[in-house]
Amino acid sequence: MNKHLDDAITQVRSLPDERQREAAELLFEFLDQQNSDISLTPEQIAEIKRRLGDDEPYASDEEVRDLFARLTK
């Protein structure tokens, strides 16, 4: 087993049962995604990384509030 994974599992084992269950669910979700037929091109992956790395919000909180205020009048 990979040392990094082994260290993570050791830490998870020290958690309360409920947290261990949550960690197991996350791991199962990860494994399910590995078996998925969905695949992205390198260009799509690069675009996702670019967008996730953008720290600028698309709209400020105030802009969003103003928009909702206009739409709900």
Domain hosting residue 32, numbered range: 3-71
Contact by Cβ (8 Å): 67, 59: yes
Is the pLDDT score of 22 beyond 90? yes
Predicted confidence (pLDDT) at residue 18 exceeds the cutoff of 90: yes
In the DSSP assignment, the letter for residue 35 is T
Query: Number of structural domains, the chain?
Result: 1
Give me the pLDDT at residue 26, please: 93
Q: What pTM did the predictor assign?
A: 0.47
What is the residue whose two structure tokens read 């082994």? 6
pLDDT tens digits along 24-57:
999 998 888 877 777 889 999 999 888 888 777 6
pLDDT value of residue 12: 94
